[in-house]
Amino acid sequence: MLLGAFALVSAAAGLWQLYDNRSKTAAAEWIHLTSQMAVTAQQISTHAAMERGLTAAILARPEKATQSMLAELERVRSLVDIRHQRLTTITTELALLAPEHPLFSALARVDKTREEMAHFRALTDAQLRSISNSLGTDQWIALMTRQIEELQELIVVGTLPLSGNIYTYAPAPVITDVLFTLAEQLGRERALISTAIARGVALDSATQYMLMEYRIVTNHARRRIEAMLQYLPDSPRLAAAQTAYWDNLKRYSEIRAEVYEQGVAGRPYPVSAETWYAEATRAIDAVAELSSAMGAHFGRDVNDLHQQAERTLSLLAFIVCALTLLFWQAVFTLRKRVLQPLKSLEQATTRISAGDLTQPMETGGADELGHLSQAFEHMRQTLLADIERREADALELRKLNTVIKHSASAVCITDPQGIIQYTNTCFVDITGHENGDALGRKAGFWTSGLNAQAQYHEMWETIQKGQVWQGELINRHKNGSLYWASVQITPVIDEKGEITHFIGVQHDISARRRIEDRLAFLASYDELTGLPNRNLLKEKFEQASAEAQRSGTCIALVSLGLGRFKQINDSLGRSAGDELLEKLSRRLSQCATERDVVARHGGAEFMLMFGGLDRAEDIQPILEHIVDILHVPVIVKGEKLQPSVAAGVSLLPADGNDFETLLHKAAIALHHAEAEGIPHCIYTDALNRDSQERLSMENALRLSLSRDELELHYQPKVDLGSGRMIAVEALARWRHPVTREYVSPARFIPIAEESGLIQQLGAWALSEACRQNKAWQEAGLRPIVVAVNLSAAQLRQPDLVETVAAALEGSGLSPDLLELELTESALMEDPDQANDTLARLKQLGLHLAIDDFGTGYSSLAYLSKFPVDQLKIDRSFVQDALSNPAAAAIASSVVGLAHQMGLKVVAEGVETEAQLAFLLRQGCDEMQGYYYSKPLPADVLASLLSSDPRLVRPDQGAPRSLLIVDDEPAIHAALARALEDSGYQILAAHSARAALELLACHPVQVILSDEHMPDMNGIEFFARVKNLYPDTARIMLSDYVNATTLIRAINEGTIYKFIAKPWDDRELCAHIRDAFASRLRSAASLRLLKASGE
């Protein structure tokens, strides 16, 4: 009964709710459809206006209608018809909601006008077919204008609410807003016109424009209001308000039109400002009264609906209270008879599902729920017994599953046919195959195909026998990469002895195999170049030596060293050095045959083994080829590098039979090649003795340095302008502690550099030179500069500046009496660092000089930056200047370059008068060499400095000198007789070399030379003279000369004239006079050119 009452009340509430929702739905649908109707009506108005204009144009001149106009007309008509069809569809749906709404009266007029429009369209088409009728343009425009106005009226009427539906009253404020807009515009007109009438002035253009705008808004609002008024329900107040509205608005419009006309024309206004204001106010009041009446009408409707809603709400509250009482009564009954027993069952079920089977259940009564409780209790007892039995098995299974799941090995379990049934997490990590990819597939799909088939056969046969198989396989990861796996497959055998499963376990041992392979590689190969290392070279040597002993052939072991490698590393970086080694290793590999071996011995040293040599001499062309290949420039990091290599060779069996011995001897040969600057050297016993001697000498030098047994000798430097000694160079001298004989610096200085003793030696020499120079000054001798050589190793010392400063401070020597000499090769090892060090040294106030200039590789850009004071021409250029045009050109260029840079030039190794004369002609500033003095001990130098001897300048010669060069004394005698009365100073030389020395000492204008001489032929001699002394006239006197060679020499200007032997004395004298005259003319022309240039 309670449930029936509850259902009845619930049904009543539901029906009410349904009714209310239906009203809301109807309101929402009405508003939605009227909105669509308004949009569609607006679209019809737009397209109808287009059709109105286009049709009117065609009706005006039908014969002038173009195809494009007709096509456009058809398109516009189609759009109008489509929109009308859409409007019909929407209004049909609206009719279902409210068939009595005023909207449909307006719609009937729209449909009627549309029928007339169809008729007019037919008449228009007839005229286009040249069928005359009475339709005119004005008729058509009037019809379409009425159609558009009726559509606008339809939109306005659509805003009226549904009768009895409060949810559709939303448009009511819109109607009130339109009335307010009308009243506001009328009020604005009242104010403007009142002002104009009161002032008695005409309406200006601005006022007219504003009134026109007000009138447009007013007319639009009136049209919308008057369209709605005819559809409003009847009521006394609303009818009276409408009547007042019509009467007052009509009267207002008439007076306004008359006032506007007079105001625009500038004539007196027909009414006073007071009358106008009263008439306008009555019209505005009529609008306000209409708005009030319409608001009261809508208010009464809304109030009725509100009272109805309150009654409905009271009923709904009663229903809710009744439902609440019925609900709680039903709940109490359900709780007692159903919920409590069900709760007991739920609790029991929860305990059972949670695994608690220890608590028995209450059996309950004899009803259905009691029987259900008894069944649950029986189930509990059965489950408890089964669980206790299974727990023991599950415990073991959990242990096994945990071990397998979290194993560090990949585990795969298959059936006897190899179909995968289980994989653990590690299987996914190692193979890349998820469980979903692997389950159901045959094991082994991850194999790489790189293992031997015999290995798989052996594995399958083993496990089929029930035995465990172990091995290492190359498998393929899902991503395609390969990996090494250590695999173990174990068969699972049941109590019947049959195989039920296979358990495969695999470990990824790729890292271990890579390490093993890497270690195996590094044990035999160089990591950088990939070449064999010393270990593998030794193995291959043992194999090759056995073969050589059987065949009687030789083996050459070559030690190859790369020069200046540290400089490359320091300047370009270690990566550049590595790249250079890699490229050179590839070149070496290309030079070797299959049985040869190219190995890297470490650092910048390679080892090569050449077997199958029939003779020891066969290695010579191989070495030359290798050196030539390696000397080809290499591009490293954008820099073009010229490799410097040297090779040392030892031979089996000549130099030994074991690897270590031959390796040691090859190293000795390499060391000798590097020391001597030769490309390669083959080991001899003499080299071994030299090596042992160098080691002995190094030990002796080290001992002498520790005992302070070295000496300094000093070689004077002479100013060529004054001839006075102005400086000395400190040169280290060493007596061997055993033999007590002087060891040549050329011998012990390289040993000091190789052994690292050069820094200790240099520091001692610097300190001793400063001390000695100060001692000379204290002895009363005039101050001179002492020059000390700095090695490349000293230049790299971080504390070099501090060491020099300490030597000056310790000796008390003024810094301007100290000069430091550095070779350009030492400076160019690291130019930027060297420049920084030189700048810091220069700040001490001492002098800097570049020694052996021209012998190394230097950059003029860096040279211009180095803060040096002097350049020293190397002795090799001085000694060769008289016989080698290239050496003379270099010496001359150095002097010119130094003077251009504001530097002084010192020439080293001057030993002859001819060399001195050459240097004087080039403008050299100072000289140093045996021509003036050899290096002297300190006490002897003091005596020389005290006596102050001056350098004797060589005679510069007579103005007209003739040099005769011939190796036959008879020729000399004959020529002397022929030229006895010529007045020339005649110089005689019996060889070309002697002639060059005379030319260096004496200015010579004409040279008379034979072609055939022992040390140099005449044309070659004249070619050198042309380069050295281009102003000389060169006459060839010979009995035979190759015609082609002679003509080429004459054309090149090497030979001035050729005279054949035997000669005519008078002709010879004439030719010589012509030669002197030609030289004088050339000199005069040169002077004129110089004068004109000035």
User: What are the CB-based long-range contacts (under 8 Å, 24+) for 975-984?
Assistant: 975/1008, 975/1068, 978/1065, 978/1068, 978/1069, 979/1069, 979/1072, 982/1069, 982/1072, 984/960, 984/1072
Assess contact for 687 and 669: CB atoms under 8 A. yes
- Supply the DSSP string of 33-91, one letter for each residue: HHHHHHHHHHHHHHHHHHHHHHHHHHHH-GGG--HHHHHHHHHHHHHHHHHHHHHHHHH
| pLDDT tens per residue, range 1036-1075 | 888 777 778 888 888 888 888 888 888 888 888 888 877 8
In this structure, the answer to whether residues 542 and 418 fall within a common structural domain is: no
Per-residue DSSP letter, 162: P
For residues 568-597, give the mean pLDDT: 82
Tokens of 87: 């409007």
| pLDDT tens per residue, range 689-744 | 666 677 777 787 788 787 888 889 999 999 887 788 999 999 999 888 777 788 88
The residues, ordered by sequence, that sit 6+ positions from 972 with a Cβ below 8 Å of its Cβ are: 964, 966, 988, 990
CATH number for 470: 3.30.450.20
* Domain boundaries, position 632: 532-683
Rounded CA-CA distance 364/345 in Å is 10
* Residue 399 belongs to some domain of the structure: no
Rounded CA-CA distance 645/568 in Å is 14
pLDDT of residue 1084: 47
Most confident of 932-941, 976-985, 1015-1024: 932-941
Greatest alpha-carbon span in the chain: 174
pLDDT of residue 979: 84
- Supply the mean pLDDT for the chain: 80
* Residue 1051 belongs to some domain of the structure: yes
CATH number for 587: 3.30.70.270
For residues 643-665, give the mean pLDDT: 87
Q: What percent of the chain has pLDDT over 70?
A: 85
Rounded CA-CA distance 834/856 in Å is 15
In this structure, the answer to whether residues 987 and 1048 fall within a common structural domain is: yes
| pLDDT tens per residue, range 740-771 | 788 888 778 877 777 778 888 888 999 999 99
Rounded CA-CA distance 823/795 in Å is 10
Q: β-pairing, 847-853 with 554-563? A: unpaired
Tokens of 579: 């790249």
- Name 598's bridge partners: 608
Cis preceding-peptide flag for 1062 (omega within 30 of 0): yes
pLDDT of residue 813: 93
pLDDT of residue 956: 42
| pLDDT tens per residue, range 480-502 | 888 888 888 888 888 888 888 88
* Residue 952 belongs to some domain of the structure: no
Among 145, 167, 189, identify where a domain stops: 167
Of 409, 404, 433, the closest CA to residue 509 belongs to 409
* Residue 291 belongs to some domain of the structure: yes
Tokens of 135: 């339709």
* Residue 415 belongs to some domain of the structure: yes
* Residue 1027 belongs to some domain of the structure: yes
The residue among 196 and 713 whose pLDDT is bigger is 713
CATH number for 1007: 3.40.50.2300
* Residue 458 belongs to some domain of the structure: yes
pLDDT at 12 over 70: no
pLDDT at 260 over 90: no
Q: Please count the CA atoms within 13 angstroms of the CA of 206 that sit on its side-chain side.
A: 2
> What sign for the dihedral angle of Cα 102, 106, 111, 115?
positive
Assess contact for 941 and 731: CB atoms under 8 A. no
pLDDT of residue 361: 65
Rounded CA-CA distance 326/2 in Å is 6
pLDDT of residue 180: 60
pLDDT of residue 420: 87
pLDDT at 300 over 90: no
Among 630, 649, 683, identify where a domain stops: 683
What is the number of domains present in the chain? 6
Cis preceding-peptide flag for 653 (omega within 30 of 0): yes
In this structure, the answer to whether residues 826 and 678 fall within a common structural domain is: no
Of 538, 679, 657, the closest CA to residue 597 belongs to 538
In this structure, the answer to whether residues 970 and 1089 fall within a common structural domain is: yes
Q: What are phi and psi of 677, to 5 degrees?
A: 75, 30
CATH number for 193: 1.20.120
Q: Could you list the beta-strand ranges (E) of 403-450.
A: 410-414, 420-423
In this structure, the answer to whether residues 207 and 273 fall within a common structural domain is: yes
For residues 839-857, give the mean pLDDT: 84
pLDDT at 509 over 90: no
Tokens of 1069: 């004298």
* Residue 955 belongs to some domain of the structure: no
pTM: predicted TM-score of the whole model, two decimal places:
0.42
Which amino acid does the sequence have at 108? A
In this structure, the answer to whether residues 715 and 674 fall within a common structural domain is: no
The region that residue 923 occupies, defined by phi over 0 for left and psi between -120 and 50 for alpha, beta otherwise, is: left
CATH number for 748: 3.20.20.450
CA dihedral 145, 151, 157, 162 (to 10 degrees): 160
In this structure, the answer to whether residues 624 and 659 fall within a common structural domain is: yes
- Supply the DSSP string of 324-370, one letter for each residue: HHHHHHHHHHHIIIIIHHHHHHHHHHHHHHTT---SPPP---SSHHH
pLDDT at 327 over 60: yes
Tokens of 858: 């230097």
Q: What are phi and psi of 371, to 5 degrees?
A: -60, -40
In this structure, the answer to whether residues 1049 and 989 fall within a common structural domain is: yes
Among 114, 136, 167, identify where a domain stops: 167
- Name 822's bridge partners: 790, 850
Of 112, 222, 146, the closest CA to residue 178 belongs to 222
| Beta sheet of 680-682, edge-to-edge order | 597-602, 605-613, 554-563, 644-652, 680-682
pLDDT of residue 1080: 62
Tell me how crowded residue 103 is: count the other CB atoms within 10 A of its CB. 24
In this structure, the answer to whether residues 721 and 620 fall within a common structural domain is: no
For residues 395-406, give the mean pLDDT: 68
In this structure, the answer to whether residues 448 and 541 fall within a common structural domain is: no
The residues, ordered by sequence, that sit 6+ positions from 999 with a Cβ below 8 Å of its Cβ are: 882, 914, 963, 1025, 1028, 1029, 1032
In this structure, the answer to whether residues 750 and 855 fall within a common structural domain is: yes
pLDDT at 618 over 80: yes
Tokens of 333: 């009954």
Q: What are phi and psi of 866, to 5 degrees?
A: -65, 130
pLDDT of residue 1090: 46
In this structure, the answer to whether residues 163 and 183 fall within a common structural domain is: no
Rounded CA-CA distance 897/1001 in Å is 24
- Name 1058's bridge partners: 1036
| Coil, helix or strand at residue 484 | strand
pLDDT at 957 over 50: no
